[in-house]
Structure 1
Amino acid sequence: MAKSKKKKNTSLFRLFLWGMTILIGSFFIFFGSIYIGLWGKVQTESDLQNIKQSEATEILDYKGAVIDKFYKYNRQSISYSAFPKHLIEALVATEDARFYEHDGVDNYSLLRVFFKTILSGDKSSGGGSTLTQQLVKNIYGRKSYGFFSLPVNKLKESIIAKRIENVYSKKEILELYLNTVPFSGNTYGIESAANQFFNKTTSKLSVSESATLVGTLKANHSYNPRLFPERSQLRRDVVLSQMQKYGYLSSEKATSTMSVSIQLKLSKRNSFQRQFFVDLIKSEVEAILDSINSKNDYTYNIEEDGLKIHTTLDLEQQKLLEASVKKHIGNLQPQFEGEYRTDLPWKNKALLLRIAKNTKVYKRLKRSKISEEQLLDSLQKKRPIEILKNGESTVLQLSTLDSISHSLKQLNAASLSVNPKTGAILAYVGGVDYRTSKFDIIKNSRRQVGSTFKPIVYASAIKAGLKPCDYFSAKEITYSNFKDWKPQNSSHKEEDPYLNFSMKHALTHSLNTVSVKVLERAGIENTITLAKSMGVTSHIVSEPSLALGVAELNMKELAKVYSSIANQSKVPEIHFITKITSKTGEVIAEFTPAQSKPSELGVDQNRILLALLENVVDEGTASRLRTTFRLRQDLAGKTGTTQGNKDGWFAAITPELVNITWVGHNNQSINFKSTRLGQGANSALPIFGTMYQQMVKQDRFNEITRATFPLLSENQREALNCDDIKRDGFFKRLLSKDEIEKNFDDEKEKEDNKEGFFSRLFGSKKK
């Protein structure tokens, strides 16, 4: 019996040994497969030596000023000597107490994690990763390998961590770590975090501030001192306790520091509007480098090779445009909300839920397979959220649905300035705030352009032989062959049927009823053809409403159209990168913009059109530039407002600058409640007006602000010299046929004013 039991125990022991042998063997085979790179590249010591050699790529404006940088690791790299001693002590005490003793992998900590966390379930023991391993994760990230993701990534990090310790000193590792680690608030590197939360450099951080920032490393969002001040303070105190535990702080110093609450001083220096241009540059340059790399032996990397990207942007003008957008939208937002008294679209629960279904939060909750009632409760649970309110960032207690509601009512704006002679982009604001919406209106959006399309209609009429002093009645007419369409003027006031308005006056005051008649005389297809020659590439609808701006265009298309008007009928190509050079100054790529192409509008005809748009500023819908902003420079332009006050536009022309500005909502179901507030003259024009007002005050912009338009010739002045309004005489009123309904006809030879006296007296027989 004993012999049988002994034999059984021996068999079990052998089975155990075999099992352990297989397990250990499998581990070494698995480890070996990672080591030799079967699970992806494992950086060699040679590769790792390049970490400190990586240099940021700089985006430069046309004068060489730095707009922004592309880093692989951080946004503001600083040296070890800039770190205060207590920052290093806080980091080591909290994240890796044995940092100075291990060689990249702390086997003691791994055993502790294995026995305490895995076997006993004590999660307080930590994750076992050293600072060096965390550095590897920060730099190279982690990849998905399905079920094997965690062991593969951990082992790769261990291998690379040991190699890093062979290449770099402990001080250099700490320097790399603090310059690469992600902190709260989407900041990378200690210098960015110190600036973001305390508005100071790293070297000036206090013990409390260092402990606060180190404390956020455990969970960036959960310990964000801006969003969760109480939780962040508790975490800071844990860091201070760790510092005391390992002898870096006396108990008195730790206690006194804990007794003081965290005092944030948030930086306001970041431009979240400029990021739209930075993103545009990055996507464009990456495509350029991909093309270059495919043909060369050496591979350029936008985040490592210290390239210089030379652009056409004027950084000083960019700053003025950013400030103008922020100021105007900050003023306009409360006025917009104030006009809504009932039926608030951003309080419509069905709309909020429909939008919520596209959020990451909703999709995550849906995957958890909770009930619809529980899901709805979760969407209504409040938490601290950073939002934009009246142009300033603030933190409020909001639920997911509250956050959607808030973003839904936020006005957005975009503004683009170009040099009309070259097409070079001078300033670029793709949205109000990159944090709240990363959608670039300039790059990605096509919107109805309203009356900013009318200059093309009038240009087509001028090309067809009409004169600025040709007169049209502004009375409303129903066009029966277009579903009884009856255009009205924005004032909705019925005009005196016997009053006739010059074409000059009609464009100056943006009369819709006249614009439709002008389009009829010019011809729809003729107008579309001219628009294409002036820079429009989008599809244009072939219908009378084109006169009122139903065409959906991109802002860059409008910039080309208005640039051609400023540039004697020559259409420039919009561009923003001039060249890319290496860190040694070698030209990698250089770009010469395409030569401007003449539009189909004659130069003399174009000057007449420009004069009409000057009149819009002097006497018409854009006269606020003269009255409110007191601008006396040579200016022309056109306001635009789309149906239902959904979009406000202003296109400004100066001899050396064209600016296109849009204001509205990302969600096109939401509009301004009144034309008073939503019209382009009020919603969009002030952005240009404020910027240009500041440019006029600065001598550096004299080349732009003191430039003048070409003088009108004697014949051109004569063509513009007429009364704005003419009233029909007695006999004309007696003999005229009052048109209430007609068919829209764009064949000029069938126009009423070409019929003879008796035809008008007895009625035309043409059908």
Structure 2
Amino acid sequence: MLEKIKRHPKLKWALIILLSLIALFFLFFGSIYFGMWGKIPTSKELTELKQNKATQVLAANGELIGKFYVYDRQPIEFSQLPPYLIEALIATEDARFYEHDGIDNRSLLRVFFKSILLQDESAGGGSTITLQLAKNIYGRRDFGIFGIVINKMQEAIIAKRLEDIYSKDEIIELYFNTVPFSDNTYGIESASLKFFDKNTSELNLEEAAVLVGMLKASHYYNPRIFPERSRLRRDVVLMQMAKYDYLSMEEAEEAKMQPMVLDYKSYSHDEGIAPYFREQVRKKVSRVLDTLKNKDGKKYNIYRDGLIVHTTLNYKMQQLAEEAMIEHMTALQEQHENSYGNYAPWIRNKEILQDAIKKSDRYQKLQKEGLSEAAIMEKMDQSHPTELFSYDGMETKNVSAIDSISHYLKFLNSGLLAVDPGNGAVQAWVGGVDFRFFKYDHVAQSKRQVGSTFKPVVYAAALESGMDPCSYFSVREVTYEDGWTPSNSSSEGDDPHMNYNLKMALSRSMNTIAVKVLMETGIGNVINQARKMGIESNLPEVPSIALGTASLSLSELTTAYTSFVNNGHYSEPYYISRIEDGNGNLLAEFKPEISKSRAFSEKTRKIMINMMQATVNEGTAARLRYRYGLRNDLAGKTGTTQDNKDGWFVGMNPELVCVTWVGNDDHRIGFRNTAIGQGANSALPIFGGLMQKMNADSAFDEITGSRFTPLSSEMAEMMECPPQERDNFLERLFSGSDQKRENKPKKKKKKKGFFQRLFGKNDDN
């Protein structure tokens, strides 16, 4: 043989070339095998596979409300995979999966002869589930012209090692937990939740076929974007299952006749349920994780480590709160715009618009680039397609940056916080009207003047100082030392000789009387009372504090009102109960923060509840009864700030305290008039709508059916006095115009005689 080769030089050179190619192949393969083109994971490393996993955020009852992730992945076990899901995968992607050891030589030969030699595009790719798993886990890198060869060889080496380490069922489990689906979704559980809003174990045959069909080209067969294309691919999967006897032909045909119905739930940061709440959770969890380390001594990563965050949120209540807010704000926004007509400040007030332009991210970015004012304004006046927020649905218009800024200036915004007063557990959190377009969270970030919702603090302080609830105060206006003269917005302020007791004055939200009660009680005592109720913000030591000129957050105001329901102890809102790792091991736990000392006596607490019940039954919040038809046992307080800038409402019962706010983010833009801007019209309806929806759902019976403890007979008797009385003739005759006479209340515990009223010391002095 050797002699024959020697006599034929061409044969000799052919052999040399062949042996050289074989040697080069083995050298090339060896360079890949030993990591010269990038390290290949060892068998030991493959036994400790750890993929980036999405952190899950769960509501109080375990419902998934959101995730934090780089890749949306949520691992599950093999036992949670329905048999037809596995069969659909094998029939479509790797029919001989249980016969090969990671590399299907028959498929490779088919690909070589049919695809390469015969140019038959229907030959398939020859890739196995195990090879795809290797690619899913480690991805592919760019090696230039050798890239496909190097990546394929690396995947083949990894696939062989995976087959040596894991059983076939374990490989299937790993595959389904790592395979990419549409919309940046990784793993079957995340895909099942996103496209069908159900766990993998609950998928039916047709849904499983849709998801498996997506694997061929996740974007091309995205059922959200290309439903018909996805449906046809689903049918191919069903026919493949019939071809390999996983289904009968009749079963496949019947399944093909079923419509493809999605129940799409986005878990993106900007969309889905409770986006403002989820962002607040993300911030707090990130801060907590900075203080913790895993078993390797490294910090946990909220986006990669698959943590489980348990929150206090009531999933159903959150849904209803968001619905109630949108329903009301849609109508209120229209009212707001119509009231201004062609004289809207976001159009006519150039100062407001120019200020908003200069505060915009676009303007400041151009300014940092060194452009002149004229050049900046020229660029900002250039039109381009822009998606704009609208309650009628998102719309894309060709507008400039200036047009866009003017568009958003007109929008009112809103905030809602509902808690369990017994422990402060947050039940619902609505930070604004739409997180995609309005990132500012009016629960966590905003502080606004609270208006008349501060008055219960004043009245509680007065009762604690010994004031009788049957004390009467005149409604007439008084000018105080700084020249400030508070007035009432209602017609009841027209008669300066009318006197109201505390209950009537609070329920009708009489400004003149609230200030008189404050001055009688002492500003210092009122501020001290606020501190006892959990209010920490700066409170100005001025008479106008009685009307809520102090700026507080929704959280602070909510905290203060819990003390009225929680036996005098305020409960600070908390929203995370515990954080666990992916295996359920506790990393951090959070307990309610309830004040140890009482803010006021039980007597004061019950009287205040009774007064605020009157606000709902017959006062400024009475529309809860006549317009919303609520028959629940409720107490509450409306609030409206100066020039109708802010509308507030606090609604509560023994099981719930809910605070709502409505206003414009630019303080210079208020409501056109009090009829629209008062808290009873702007903020109360959100609470009213929420309570209507809760009343219609038996799941909330424990909350909606709760009742306040009635006043004892002794307390009820103590408050038995006419709600109002008018000065008699002589009192009107001698009251004069000396406004200093209004700095003290007139107490009417028993009727005075004629000469005492005529010549005695007047209680108004």
Q: TM-score, normalised by structure 1?
A: 0.70
CA distance in 2, matches of 1:137, 1:375: 46
How far 1:448 moved relative to its partner? 0.5
CA distance in 2, matches of 1:585, 1:77: 13
1:466 corresponds to: 467
CA distance in 1, matches of 2:287, 2:634: 38
2:682 corresponds to: 683
1:471-490 pair list within 5 angstroms? 471-479=472-480, 481-482=481-482, 484-490=483-489
How far 1:204 moved relative to its partner? 4.7
1:70-109 pair list within 5 angstroms? 70-74=68-72
- Identity score, percent: 36
How far 1:201 moved relative to its partner? 7.7
Pick from 63, 66, 87 the counterpart of residue 65 of structure 1: 63
CA distance in 2, matches of 1:77, 1:294: 20
How far 1:298 moved relative to its partner? 5.7
1:157-168 pair list within 5 angstroms? 167=158
For each residue in 1:461-503, what CA deviation from the matched residue of structure 2 results, as whole angstroms up to 9, or x when unmatched? Answer: 1111112221111111111x21x10111123775222211111
Unmatched segments (≥5 aa) in structure 1: 1-34, 88-99, 102-130, 141-150, 184-188, 217-223, 227-235, 237-264
Contact 2:180 2:215 in 1 (8 A): no
CA distance in 2, matches of 1:161, 1:573: 58
Q: 1:468 to 1:740 in 2, by over 3 A?
A: same
Q: 1:463 to 1:758 in 2, by over 3 A?
A: same
1:390 corresponds to: 391
For each residue in 1:636-675, what CA deviation from the matched residue of structure 2 results, as whole angstroms up to 9, or x when unmatched? Answer: 0000011111111000111100001011112212111111
- Are 1:321 and 2:321 counterparts? yes
CA distance in 2, matches of 1:311, 1:562: 22
Contact 2:73 2:177 in 1 (8 A): no
How far 1:535 moved relative to its partner? 1.0
CA distance in 1, matches of 2:272, 2:695: 25
1:569 corresponds to: 568
Instruction: Specify the code of the residue in structure 2 equivalent to 1:446.
Output: K
CA distance in 2, matches of 1:293, 1:205: 37
CA distance in 2, matches of 1:666, 1:719: 45
Instruction: Specify the code of the residue in structure 1 equivalent to 2:333.
Output: Q
Instruction: Specify the code of the residue in structure 2 equivalent to 1:58.
Output: Q
Contact 1:61 1:310 in 2 (8 A): yes
Tell me which moved more, 335-344 or 353-362: 353-362
Contact 2:322 2:430 in 1 (8 A): yes
CA distance in 1, matches of 2:212, 2:294: 50
Q: 1:83 to 1:626 in 2, by over 3 A?
A: farther
Instruction: Specify the code of the residue in structure 1 equivalent to 2:335.
Output: Q
Tell me which moved more, 652-661 or 159-168: 159-168
Contact 1:412 1:432 in 2 (8 A): yes
CA RMSD of superposed structures (Å): 4.9
1:22 corresponds to: none
Q: 1:268 to 1:623 in 2, by over 3 A?
A: farther
CA distance in 2, matches of 1:760, 1:598: 47
Secondary structure at 2:577 match in 1: strand
CA distance in 2, matches of 1:592, 1:205: 41
Q: 1:70 to 1:476 in 2, by over 3 A?
A: same
Contact 2:578 2:588 in 1 (8 A): yes
1:145-544 pair list within 5 angstroms? 167=158, 178-179=180-181, 204=210, 213=219, 271-272=271-272, 274-293=274-293, 297=297, 299-347=299-347, 348-366=349-367, 372-390=373-391, 392-479=393-480, 481-482=481-482, 484-491=483-490, 494-544=493-543
Contact 2:426 2:575 in 1 (8 A): yes
CA distance in 1, matches of 2:477, 2:589: 55
Contact 2:53 2:73 in 1 (8 A): no
Q: 1:614 to 1:166 in 2, by over 3 A?
A: farther
1:247 corresponds to: none
1:128 corresponds to: none
Secondary structure at 1:527 match in 2: helix
How far 1:345 moved relative to its partner? 2.4
How far 1:722 moved relative to its partner? 1.7
Instruction: Specify the code of the residue in structure 2 equivalent to 1:717.
Output: A
2:118 corresponds to: none
How far 1:723 moved relative to its partner? 1.4
CA distance in 2, matches of 1:56, 1:690: 35
CA distance in 2, matches of 1:376, 1:191: 48
How far 1:322 moved relative to its partner? 1.0
Secondary structure at 1:580 match in 2: strand
CA distance in 2, matches of 1:379, 1:635: 51
Contact 1:74 1:179 in 2 (8 A): no
2:661 corresponds to: 662
Q: 1:391 to 1:506 in 2, by over 3 A?
A: farther
1:119 corresponds to: none
How far 1:362 moved relative to its partner? 3.0
Instruction: Specify the code of the residue in structure 1 equivalent to 2:322.
Output: E
Contact 1:652 1:658 in 2 (8 A): yes
How many pairs does the alignment contain? 621
Contact 1:179 1:191 in 2 (8 A): no
Q: 1:456 to 1:67 in 2, by over 3 A?
A: same
1:718-737 pair list within 5 angstroms? 718-737=717-736
1:552 corresponds to: 551
Contact 2:65 2:273 in 1 (8 A): no
Contact 2:475 2:497 in 1 (8 A): no
For each residue in 1:143-177, what CA deviation from the matched residue of structure 2 results, as whole angstroms up to 9, or x when unmatched? Answer: xxxxxxxx99xxx9x99999778647999999968
Contact 1:135 1:181 in 2 (8 A): no
How far 1:553 moved relative to its partner? 0.7
Pick from 42, 52, 55 the counterpart of residue 54 of structure 1: 52
For each residue in 1:4-37, what CA deviation from the matched residue of structure 2 results, as whole angstroms up to 9, or x when unmatched? Answer: xxxxxxxxxxxxxxxxxxxxxxxxxxxxxxx99x
Contact 2:630 2:692 in 1 (8 A): yes
For each residue in 1:692-713, what CA deviation from the matched residue of structure 2 results, as whole angstroms up to 9, or x when unmatched? Answer: 1111122111111111111201
1:603-622 pair list within 5 angstroms? 603-622=602-621
Secondary structure at 1:443 match in 2: coil
2:647 corresponds to: 648
Tell me which moved more, 573-582 or 440-449: 573-582
Q: 1:436 to 1:84 in 2, by over 3 A?
A: farther
CA distance in 1, matches of 2:584, 2:218: 42
Q: TM-score, normalised by structure 2?
A: 0.70
How far 1:77 moved relative to its partner? 8.7
Contact 1:640 1:650 in 2 (8 A): yes
